Chain A
Amino acid sequence: MKRSLFGRLWPNVTAVVLFIGFVFPVYWMFATALKPTGDIITEDPVWFPTDVTFEHFRTAVGVDHFWTYVTNSLVVTVCAVVLSLVVALVGSFALARMRFRGRRGFVIGFMLAQMAPWEVMIIAMYMIVRDASMLNSLVPLTAFYMMMILPFTILTLRGFVAAVPRDLEEAAMVDGCTRAQAFRRVILPLLAPGLMSTSLFGFVTAWNEFPLVLVVNKEAEAQTLPLWLSSFQTAFGDDWGATMAASSLFAVPILILFLFLQRKAVSGLTAGAVKG
């Protein structure tokens, strides 16, 4: 089928416009962070940071306890994601592959759990943590973050598990594997994209959370990066260079993770599906 010049042109033009629209805020964040203040506060925007400076990054990193926040954020996020993957994988296997009384109830239960508006329950959560004498600790944070991402993870993985051809599993079982072995040797590798894509979601959610940590952990030693970023914004509200540098630092791990994993996750999903 031959398309007219216009027919070939407009999708590309639209794509370029969209690309700019989606990338610009991200670009502007980095650009602002790298420009000297004089180039930020100008009547006419300086579109490209010609005079690159790392001064704003130094301000952002120079805040007390910065590295504590980084460590805490990483520990909490990674633990929460890994935990929820393990718990969800096991559960999703049951939901996707087994028949048992009450299965439907479980599925609906997790869907409901997914809807929980955590921010409005902050005080209840705070009082539970307080009364359990677990304030200023990373343990309750990890546990709650794990729970925030668990329903999504379990429901998504269930889809991935179900999409793995049953015949494969059966073949493995015929070959003398136990069900657990079949799961580990045959299904698990096929689930890799699913695990990646759900862990991305989990990572982002846990990495971002701040209403809970704000009230639960008042001591800097147990605080995380989102608090640093939001307090930074109050303290340096007018210093957009430093604020953007802080935002960039906060965003970079996720951006890298996404660019790295997303392609695999999506292409894996696609490939798997096509093969099926």
Chain B
Amino acid sequence: MKRKLVAAIGVAGMMVSIAACGGDDGDGGKAGADGYAGQTLTVWVMDGSSPDQWQKDVTAAFEKKTKAKVKFEIQQWNGIQQKLTTALSEENPPDVFEIGNTQTPAYAKTGGLAELADLKSSIGADWTESLNNASVYEGKQYAAPWYFASRVVVYNKKVWADAGIKELPKTRDEFYADLKQIGSKTKAEPIYLPGQNWYHFVGLVVGEGAELVKKDGDKYVSNLDDPKVTAAMETYKKFQALSKAPKDKDEATPQQSEVFAKGNVGAFIGMGWEAATAVKANPEIEKQIGYFTIPGATADKPEGVFLGGSNLAVAAGSKKQELAKEFLRIALSDQYEGELAKQNGVIPNKESLQTNLKGNAAAEAAAPAAAGGGTTPLIPEWAAVENAPNPIKTYMTAVLNGKTPAAAAKQVEDEFNKRLSQQQ
């Protein structure tokens, strides 16, 4: 044996090592004949969107009813589309996953989402129509509305008190003046507003009564050169100038709530539940956190907001369709949908469940603005715009770095239009 050619040893060594390098191969186990026992359902949820307690409760209920297991996997928004697309093409995609409402139409079109007509008829009769729109593509139900939320001002009561502010601002100008006062009277940063919090920018655009895209024939094209969009950007710029946050980063890098958690920031514009992240990072901040509606140009009308939301979808390639629907029935049941609304302060998918928001400070602050909220256009072409580098973000950074809005709009127009007309 030892006299054999070195090559032979090499080949043999290769085989041995490859065998030794083998990883474990998943759980592969299919259900037996009796029910779902032994199966594991994989559920992707986005970072921060559902509290641990809710996950625990739903898991318990689900496991009790189906005897199957459920595995929650937390995903980050950054790069989620790339990850989701490849995952949906795989043999074992996540069975159930959370998907942003603006991204749903594109994925519905790809055929990656299972149709949920039966679910809609069995549990979705009273889903709020406007919230369900994003889940419907060409008349078919491809996802289930899960929760919705709009941004509020999360503020640090102590910082505001230190600055001597007694009353919360009712208008945009008052808000600005208060922040200025924080800047001059305290050592805190008045507001943490990174240059690319584009959801807030979309809200401002909605508030101006404009849209980011317009129709040109049967195509969608950039509407960034609209004077109303320019006005929205000017507002953003004015407030951003009060922040030391980077102009070329979004609110998730770093997580704005974690910056806020350090206690040296007056306010940030974000989702109510982001406060929970802040508390996790620094428990002492909890009693200092307050919320108020983003003030609009006049006291009678709050600022426009982006009605962010998430749907739950089932992968068309999942081999556990029934089990996945079983999960949706439990997660979206009045009990757990209500619990989510209560814990996270988000708008539930049914009007009847809105009572759960009573007493939730963040939700109460968000409520007045919701009526005037809007989304990005719910068209399949939109998802491509959100891929990095998102031209809207590029536009914002360009303006914040001194370009005129018109020049910045011109700068990103080609890229924006290219994405809107991208071959599907």
Footprint of B on A, CB under 8 Å? Answer: 72, 75-76, 79, 82-83, 86-87, 89-90, 93, 126, 130, 133, 135-139, 142-143, 178, 180, 183-184, 215, 218-219, 221-222, 231, 234-239
Q: 1/0 per position for B1-15, CB-CB distance to A under 8 A?
A: 001111101100110
Closest 8 CB pairs of A and B: A238-B254, A237-B254, A138-B23, A79-B21, A90-B10, A142-B21, A86-B10, A237-B253
Separation of A219 and B14 alpha carbons in the complex (Å): 26
Q: Decide if A234 touches B14 in the complex (CB within 8 Å).
A: no
In the complex, chain B residues whose CB is within 8 Å of the CB of A238: 254-255, 258-259
Contact B17 A82 (CB under 8 A): yes
Question: How far, in angstroms, from A137 to B5 measured CA to CA in the complex?
Answer: 32
Give complex CA distance A93, B6 in Å.
10
Report how far A234 CA is from B252 CA in the complex, Å. Answer: 8
B7's nearest neighbour on chain A, judged by CB, is: A90
* Contacting pair A76 B21 (CB below 8 A): yes
Interface residues contributed by chain B, number (CB under 8 Å): 34
Q: How far is the CB of A137 from chain B (nearest CB, A)?
A: 5
Q: B20 an interface residue at 8 Å Cβ cutoff?
A: yes
List residues of chain B with CB within 8 A of the CB of A83. Answer: 13-14, 17-18
Interchain Cβ contacts under 8 Å between A and B, 14 examples: A75-B21, A79-B17, A79-B18, A86-B9, A136-B26, A180-B5, A218-B87, A219-B26, A221-B24, A234-B78, A234-B253, A235-B255, A238-B258, A238-B259
**Cβ-defined contact, A135 with B90, below 8 A:** yes
Complex alpha-carbon distance, A252 and B9, angstroms: 33
Contact between A239 and B258, CB atoms less than 8 A apart: yes
Q: Given A180-B6, A237-B255, A231–B89 Cβ distance below 8 Å?
A: no
How distant is the Cα of A128 from the Cα of B3 in the complex, in angstroms? 38
Q: Residue of A at shortest CB range from B18? A: A139
| Beyond A86-B14, A138-B21, 6 extra complex contacts between A and B, CB < 8 Å | A86-B9, A89-B6, A93-B6, A142-B18, A215-B86, A238-B258
Q: Contact: B76 with A231, CB < 8 Å?
A: yes
Majority-rule SS of A interface residues: helix
Within 8 A of A (CB), among B169-206: none
Residues of B contacting A231 in the complex (Cβ-Cβ under 8 angstroms): 76
A79 CB contacts on chain B under 8 angstroms: 17-18, 20-21
Closest CB-CB distance, B192 to chain A, in whole Å?
10
B216, CB-defined interface residue at 8 Å: no
Complex Cα–Cα for A76 and B17 (A): 10
**Nearest CB on B from A157, distance (A):** 13
Residues of B within 8 A of A137 (CB): 22-23, 25
**Does B83 interact with chain A (Cβ within 8 Å)?**
yes
Q: With the chains together, A15 CA to B321 CA distance in Å?
A: 67
Measured CA separation A231–B74 after assembly (Å) = 12
The docked-state distance in angstroms from the alpha carbon of A231 to that of B18 is 28
Query: Which of A86, A93, A135, A139 touches B22 (beta carbons < 8 Å)?
Result: A139
Q: B218: CB under 8 A from chain A? A: no
A87 and B23 contact, CB distance less than 8 A? no
Q: What CA separation (Å) do A163 and B155 show in the bound complex?
A: 70
Residues of chain B from 1 to 52 with CB closer than 8 A to chain A in the complex: 3-7, 9-10, 13-14, 17-18, 20-26
Q: Using Cβ atoms and an 8 Å threshold, which residues of chain A touch B23? A: 72, 75, 136-139, 221-222
CB of B21 within 8 A of CB of A139, answer yes
Report the minimal beta-carbon distance from A147 to chain B, rounded to whole angstroms: 12
Judge whether B91 is part of the interface by a CB distance below 8 angstroms. yes
Is A178 a contact partner of B18 (Cβ separation < 8 A)?
Answer: no
A180, B78: Cβ atoms under 8 Å? Answer: no
Q: Are B91 and A135 in contact (CB under 8 A)?
A: yes
List chain B residues, Cβ under 8 A from A89.
6, 10
List the B residue with the shortest CB-CB distance to A134. Answer: B25
